[in-house]
Structure 1
Amino acid sequence: MPIPVRRMRFTTWRSLATAAVAALMAAFLAPTAAHGAPRESTPVYSYENAIRESVWVDTGLDGDSDGKPDRVAVDIVRPREPARQGRKVPVIMDASPYYSCCGRGNESQVKTYDANGHVVQMPLFYDNYFVPRGYAFVGVDLAGTNRSDGCVDVGGRSDVRSAKAVVDWLNGRARGYTTRTGAVTAKAGWTDGSTGMIGKSWDGTIANGVAATGVKGLKTIVPISAISSWYDYYFAQGAPLYDSGPDWLSGYVDSPDARAKCAAVQQKLVDGAPRTGDWTPLWTERDYVKDASKVRASVFLVHGMQDLNVRTKNFGQWWDALARHGVERKIWLSQTGHVDPFDFRRAAFVDTLHRWFDHELLGYDNGIDDEPMADIERHPDQWTTSTLWPPRTTTATTLRPGTGTQAGVGTLALRGGSGTETFTDDPALSETDWAAHIDRSTPEKAGFTTGPLTRDLRLSGSSRVTVTATPTTSTAHLSAVLVDLGPDTVRDYAGPGEGITTLTGRTCWGASTPGDSACYLGTEAATADVDFTVLSRGWADLGHRASGHGGPLTPGKAYTTTLDLAATDHVVPKGHRLALIVAGTDKDLIDPPSSTPALTLDLTRTSAHVPLVGGAAAFARATAGSAPAPAASVLDGVRDPGAALRVPGERR
């Protein structure tokens, strides 16, 4: 596990520069702070009279092969007063494929335009709230979507270049035009070039991708429920997570123009993403983790720990890579599924985002860099903080399964036993079925539990489970899940709102115009009473063991593979039990193999590597004097998680 940096500390030279800039700008951008450097931008500018304009930026690509460079549409809302006075403003940017096809946010808002083609409604609250506070907001249509040229390539070069070119234009390094096809140039003389990118799902993914280019001028990103490697969106170590590929997603968002011109790009997406789960050059291009060393921007990351759309391996591996390279960072982890923080923690999110952008883009010394690195939701609407994440005392601790008194019902301890356990893949059953029958000998899973804990036990980070298994057929999929066995009230992440209920009343965040309201439907936590909580999951095709390319298995031969489990932060309370379950197909979360194998686990060569705060000593203290619970029926927890699966555009 990577060693976390000491804190989100800025270097001395940047602190001095920040203080100097803040002192110079105090009188201009925060008139209310008459004494000393400003600590908060205030809504002193008119949103109603803001400048609304559109620019088309040259990406330097010709993705649609029409012989002309692709231009991406950039809709801008910026305060008029600083422009009149010759003062420059920073930029908040959301680059998205969803501005016309599908909409943004809980209410699926799309861009609307006036008769002159200038944006009237910009989805979400960012422009309403931040433009009066001295920021420009920029909404970029990714190539092949809405009013942009080119083709959608689902996280590839064209997607990332669409947004990077705009950052370059804002910093005077790319060409912009006043129309889609004209020759009149447009310059961004109104901005200081300091840019922060934000977005949920695909939008946040593009923020990750642009940051991984190291582009100058991108000061910070706020990726929400975002992908860090597109392979890990579609596959888990060779096991398919969805029954479709990036070609379907491209067709979901592309414009009519792109649909007519981009058949060749679509075919490349088909050919480059085989359903075998093999790693190909297409996935290398869409892996931003490998380029984490290039990231110059700070990162405020937000993710739902029960997100079964953009699964949490994506944030875990990205966070760990950023940590290895000392990137300044902050993180929020909720109990929700694929939900925006504006809809699960609205007031706190707006306040935190405001202070984050003030610090990163305006240089205000407001203390946010001295606050705890992590906010973690323990129970619905109950949050704790962690100075560092994962905490400094977190250690990957090896836990070993052992046989019990019943077949398939074993123990989990620091020392394991010998022997084997056998189960048969049943694609009709899921992780909730397995956990509900953890103390029963059932043919579809092998379960291993501690006794009731005598102290709380905290897991923080990413786990791995190494399995040695002998299959009876030439194909086999494996699932490994960690479960907290005990009653709790949690967000109903598998429900229709993935942990929230949308209300009828509205709350307002910023200024409104007749065409763009700053008022949004309120939400509250949707909860479920459960008897167990699946806290981390991982899947693999046994034929994809190490090379990234799969092949048929030899029945009767033992194979060893390590499953990467999703990142999480969870406290197993005193009196609960921690369980490891190993099984085959996890219904609705991975697709089944072509055969229905039985698999025999060699327990002497099977182990879980779990990030425990306090390490092995904490586990020993928490399990001291405990014994495995007697066999009992455990009721179902949250409903079938498959109900929460969506493409990145849904519940935007």
Structure 2
Amino acid sequence: MRSGLVKLLTVALVLAGTAVPGTASAAGRVVSEPVYDFASAIRETVWVDTGRDGDADGRDDRVAADLVRPREAADRGIKVPVIMDASPYYSCCGRGGEKEVKTYDGAGRPVGFPLYYDNFFVPRGYAVVLVDLAGTNRSRGCVDVGGVSDVGSAKSVVDWLNGRATGYSSATGGTAVSAAWSTGNVGMIGKSYDGTIANGVAATGVAGLKTIVPIAAISSWYDYYRTDGAVGNSGSPAGLAQTVSARNQGQNCSAANQRLRQDFPANGDYSPAWLERDHVAAAKNVRASVFAVNGVNDLNVKTINFGQWWSALASTGVDRKLWLSQTGHVDPFDFRRAEWVAALHQWFDHYLLGLDNGVGNSPRVSVERQPDVWVDQTAWPAAGTRDVVLRPVAGPTAGVGTMTSGPAVTGSASITDTGRVGEATWAAQPTATSTSRVLYSTGVLAQDLHVSGTGTVTVTVTPSTPTARVSAVLVDYGRQTIRNYGGAGEGVKFGSAEDCWGASTTGDDACYRIAATDTANVGLHIFSRGWADLANHRSLSREEQLVPGRPYTMTFRLASTDKVVPKGHQLALIIGGTDAGFVSAPAQPPRLTVDLSKTFVTLPLDGTTPVAGVPGSLPAHPAQVVATEPARLDHG
């Protein structure tokens, strides 16, 4: 009864024009309350001038910003902050687990807003703005897949919300529309491509952007399509542009699409086009706080993207928070729903409404250690983590040995790259000789081993042909239950039951299917990977033809992770040629001779350095290996 009286008092004060942003929750925190009527909220579209003419029609492109905001606040002159999701997917592919798209009435006014942000936050005194990137849905212009057009689409709307850009009542012509109702405080959120745009806009340093919440987001487009010189199997920027702009009629983007085909080298070289889309390189400009979320088993947007972004932000001094789940490419709304909405609510209330709600006292990093078992850390990489070098030592079985933290040991091993096999095959029989990989293990661990951060592998190999790929994976051998990140739901599975998060109207439902945890009992877990093209051993910006028979040394990155390999398990490093599920094969797959004395892995370890033992208890045939086929970004 008391909380109800507090809410009614808040409503009365707000309607009287007095700014009362929040009340005390049952947990003792100050929170914004749902005091505004969602059904009567203002729903409109404003087309914002981007100052660019991407489709070369002689007019500046305007991007469509569909928005919903509380009518009572507008009627009484109360300004509200904005939660914004800028996306290319609002007509082509949909958002969220239910693939929602925008819907409109017969007059073109927005009715259905994908996801729950509007249902939950508008009654609590926020506006929600969903932006169609240039060249998608109802926006003019052309998609450039993470470039100045994409990022500029969203930045222009932030500028309009702060009085620095012009909005209009229609896509062409029309009258100017002001955002005088906005406080100018903007928080951007989004998963995958959407979260990537949030990273990109933050990296411009635009004033008014107070916080971003990137979920499974790219920090460098190079590290989506390429990896240390190797060409990935994730398609091409031109192909993605065609997917997201397929329903955008009446515009000529042939020149823009041709640039997308020309600007990106077919090989793995890091070009100026990739630099334009490298938000890590521009991280020094970020002024917004960052609440990042990623699945450590995300095989779509590889985890190097969150790792390098988080690390680059450390030098900026901005407030940061990180959630790491065991899922693949999954939104936290679908793996930790109630906790996620509460955390997001607290985050936006603080950074957009300015509430003193103790958000700084919450754990900086939360990690899902086992399915639905979360632990908190003060930092990522975990406090106490240090880089440890482990070196391979040949054993009595060819291509199988141990790892040691001691000095280098002489020896060599051979790999034949067919271009047709990959990590699942390499890991399946760890005690047997394989022509396609070599494997080195710590032996049975006497203590838990915490790998937290971004590791690297340094290899010295001699190829037999002028072209060569090198791959490396880290494997936790031992019986364990993990999220089934290789399954259809990438660690979750949806039932038919729903729960509701906010208010609903006809055409804009706040209820969503509940996702349960999907697990797999496995005998091994491949938890980090890295790939490289040996031709880029000297420079990622320019490959060179290899000389058969000559040794080359190259250091490349492993995927960022946070993984505890338990006592009694074994940690193994596998080195192979082409990992066929993830990177393309070289023109002439080689035989590789690995110089063990000049090959090692550098791992970020928290805890005791493992002492190499004999890997005799490695399971020869694990009962189950989670599938590892990478998804495509345009699956959202």
TM-score, normalised by the number of residues in structure 2: 0.95
- Aligned with residue 382 of structure 1, among 366, 373, 381: 373
For 1:254-333, what aligned pairs fall within 5 Å after superposition?
254-257=245-248, 260-333=251-324
- 2:30 aligns to what SS in structure 1? coil
CA distance in 2 between partners of 1:42 and 1:159 (Å): 34
- Find the counterpart in structure 2 of residue 203 from structure 1: 194
CA distance in structure 1 between the partners assigned to 2:454 and 2:238 by the alignment: 30
Match of 1:89 among 80, 83, 90: 80
The equivalent residue for 2:611 is: 623
Distance 1:124 1:592 in 2: 39
CA shift at 1:496, angstroms? 0.9
Tell me how far 1:634 sits from its aligned partner. 3.4
Aligned residue for 1:14? none
1:228-243 matched pairs, under 5 angstroms: 228-242=219-233
Q: 1:392 offset after TM fit, Å?
A: 2.5
- Per the alignment, residue 646 of structure 1 pairs with 631
**Range with bigger deviation, 430-439 or 230-239:** 430-439
Using the TM superposition, give the Cα deviation of residue 442 of structure 1 relative to its aligned residue in structure 2, in angstroms.
1.1
Q: CA, structure 1 residues 632+343, in 2 after alignment: closer, same or farther (shift >3 Å)?
A: closer
**1:166 aligned to which of 154, 157, 166:** 157
CA displacement at 1:587 relative to structure 2: 2.0
Q: 2:567 aligns with which of 567, 571, 574?
A: 574
Instruction: Answer whether contact 2:55 2:251 (CA < 8 A) is retained.
Output: no
Kindly indicate whether the alpha-carbon contact (under 8 Å) linking 1:432 and 1:637 is maintained by their aligned counterparts in 2.
no
CA distance in 1 between counterparts of 2:169 and 2:397 reads: 73
The size of the alignment, in residue pairs, is 619
Retained in 2: the 8 A contact 1:60–1:70? yes
Cα displacement string for residues 64-95 of structure 1 (whole angstroms, at most 9, x for unaligned residues)? 00000000000010011111111111000000
Match of residue 609 from structure 1: 602
> How far does residue 58 in structure 1 lie from its aligned partner after superposition?
0.3
Deviations 1:125-184, CA, capped at 9 Å, x for gaps: 000000001000000000000000000000000000000000000000000011111241
Q: Does 2:472 match 1:485?
A: no
Alignment of 1:47 onto 2:32 = no
Shift, 1:439, TM fit:
1.4
- In the alignment, residue 330 of structure 2 is paired with which amino acid? V
- In the aligned structure 2, how far is the partner of 1:197 from the partner of 1:191? 15
Matched ranges for 1:15-414 at <5 A: 28-30=19-21, 32-33=23-24, 39-242=30-233, 244-257=235-248, 260-414=251-405
Give the SS at the match of 2:396.
Answer: strand
CA contact 1:30–1:38 (8 Å) conserved in 2:
no
Matched letter for residue 633 of structure 2: P
User: Residues 306-325 of structure 1, C-alpha deviation per residue, up to 9 Å, x if partnerless?
Assistant: 11111011111111100122
Amino acid at match of 1:210: V
**Against the structure 1 CA distance between its residues 100 and 383, is the aligned structure 2 distance closer, same or farther, given a 3 Å change threshold?**
same
| One-letter amino acid matched to 1:605 | K
Query: Equivalent residue for 2:463?
Result: 471
TM-superposition CA deviations, 1:235-264 (whole Å, max 9, x none): 111211126310000000115556740111
Contact 1:510–1:518 (CA under 8 A) maintained in structure 2:
yes
Q: Counterpart of 2:19 in 1: which secondary structure?
A: helix
SS at match of 2:634: coil
Q: CA separation of 1:32/1:432 partners in 2, compared to 1, >3 Å: closer, same or farther?
A: same
Partners of 1:188 and 1:310 lie apart in 2 by: 35
Partner in structure 1 of residue 515 of structure 2: 523
Are 2:499 and 1:503 equivalent residues in the alignment? no
Q: TM-score, with normalisation over the residues of structure 1? A: 0.92
- In the alignment, the residues of structure 1 paired with residue 163 and residue 522 of structure 2 have an alpha-carbon distance, to the nearest angstrom, of 55
2-side partners of 1:379 and 1:496: how far apart?
A: 19
**Any unmatched runs of 5+ in structure 2?**
1-13
Secondary structure (helix, strand or coil) at the match of 2:572 reads strand
**Closer, same or farther in 2 for the Cα pair 1:352/1:406, shift >3 Å?**
same
Q: Give the corresponding residue for 2:578.
A: 585
Question: Distance between the aligned counterparts of 1:536 and 1:513, measured in 2?
Answer: 44
Quote the offset at 1:27 in angstroms: 5.6
**8 Å contact 1:111–1:120 — kept in the other structure?**
yes
1:335 positional shift: 0.8
Cα offsets for 1:284-330 (capped at 9, x unmatched): 11111011000000000001111111101111111110012222100
Say whether the 8 Å CA contact 1:371–1:387 is kept in structure 2.
Answer: no
The corresponding residue for 2:436 is 444
- 1:38 deviation in Å? 7.4
Cα deviation for residue 115 of structure 1 reads 2.0
User: 1:368 offset after TM fit, Å?
Assistant: 1.7
C-alpha change, 1:331 and 1:33, in structure 2 (3 Å) is: closer
The residue type equivalent to 1:294 in the other structure is N
Deviation at 1:32, TM superposition (A): 4.3
Question: In the TM superposition, what is the alpha-carbon distance from 1:551 to its structure 2 partner?
Answer: 2.3
Task: Tell me how far 1:594 sits from its aligned partner.
Answer: 1.2
Change (3 A) 1:72 1:255: farther
- Matched position secondary structure for 2:31: coil
Partner of 1:550: 543
Letter in 1 for 2:58: G
Native 8 Å contact 1:310 1:648 kept in 2: yes
What does the per-residue CA deviation read over 1:563-606, in whole Å, with 9 as the maximum and x for residues that have no partner? Answer: 11110000010000111010011121111111221111111111
Contact 2:17 2:76 in 1 (8 A): no
Q: State the 1:635 CA deviation.
A: 1.3
- 1:406 is paired with a residue whose SS is coil
Quickly say closer, same or farther: Cα 1:243–1:611, change in 2 above 3 A.
Answer: closer
Q: Which amino acid aligns with 1:436?
A: A
Q: C-alpha separation between the residues in 1 aligned to 2:218 and 2:247?
A: 26
Q: Distance in 2 between matches of 1:582 and 1:529?
A: 25
How many Å apart are 1:482 and its aligned residue?
Answer: 0.8
Residues in 2 aligned to 1:603 and 1:79: alpha-carbon distance in whole angstroms: 66
Equivalent of 2:622 in 607, 632, 635: 635
- 1:39: Cα distance to partner? 1.0
- Alpha-carbon distance in 2 for matches of 1:332, 1:74: 29
Equivalent residue for 2:533, pick from 510, 527, 541: 541
Percentage identity across paired residues of the two chains: 54
CA contact (8 A) 2:493 2:518 kept: yes
Report the alpha carbon displacement of residue 638 of structure 1 after superposing the two structures with TM: 3.0
CA separation of 1:146 and 1:283: change in aligned 2, threshold 3 A: same
C-alpha RMSD of matched pairs (Å): 1.9
> What is the alpha-carbon distance in structure 1 between the residues aligned to residue 394 and residue 22 of structure 2?
70
Letter in 2 for 1:648: L
Helix, strand or coil at the partner of 1:543: helix
Distance 1:300 1:26, change over 3 A: farther
CA distance in 2, matches of 1:528, 1:476: 34
Instruction: Give the distance between the partners of 1:377 and 1:632, measured in 2 at CA.
Output: 26
Contact kept, 8 Å, 1:41 with 1:134, in 2: the verdict is yes
In the alignment, the residues of structure 2 paired with residue 593 and residue 33 of structure 1 have an alpha-carbon distance, to the nearest angstrom, of 61
